[in-house]
Amino acid sequence: MEPDPDLSAARTVRRATQRLSRRLQLQRSADGLSLTKISLLGHLARKGPMAAGALAAADRLQPQSVTRVLAELEDDGHTVRLANPADKRQRVFSITDAGRAALREDMRIRDEWLASVMAAQLTTGERDAVLRAAAILERIAESP
C-alpha cells in the first residue's frame, strides 16, 4: 500500500511547526511570565474580557488551574476582574496596560530572534514564501 501523500504532507507541516514552536519557546526570557500566563494574556488581548471558564476551555486547562493563574496575573497587575455585563453573578477578566506590555515584551524577544535568523539564512524569495505559508497556516489554525 502506498503512503497517503496528504498524511505525509500533514506530518511534515506538523513536525516543522512543532520544532519552530519549541525553538521560539527557547528564546523566551528565563525570568519572564510562564507560557500559561502568556497564553491567557494572549486570549484576553485578542478576544477581550473573558470568564475564567472560557479561558480554561480556550487552553484546555482545568478551571481550578486557570483560577489560580488568573489570581497571580491580577496580583501582578496584568489583569483586572470586572462584572460580566451579560451575567451579574459572574466575573470576567480583562488585560491591563501592564499585561499588554508584558505580552509585547515576550513577543518582542522571540520576534527579534526570528527576524535575525530569517535575515541571515533566507533569500528574499524564501522569506516571501515563508510569509505566504504563514498566512496559509493561520487559515488552517482557524479551521474548526
Torsion angle of the four alpha carbons 113, 115, 118, 119, in this order, in degrees rounded to the nearest 10: -110
Could you report the per-residue pLDDT of 45-71, keeping only the tens digit for each?
A: 999 999 999 999 999 999 888 999 999
* Helix, strand, or coil (residue 117): helix
Please give the Cα distance from 117 to 111 (Å, whole number). 10
Provide the domain limits for residue 98.
5-141
DSSP letter assigned to residue 4: P
Give the pTM: 0.81
Q: Give the chain's domain count.
A: 1
Could you report the per-residue pLDDT of 19-39, keeping only the tens digit for each?
A: 999 999 999 888 889 999 999
pLDDT band with cut points at 50, 70 and 90 for residue 86: confident
Chain centroid to CA 85: 26
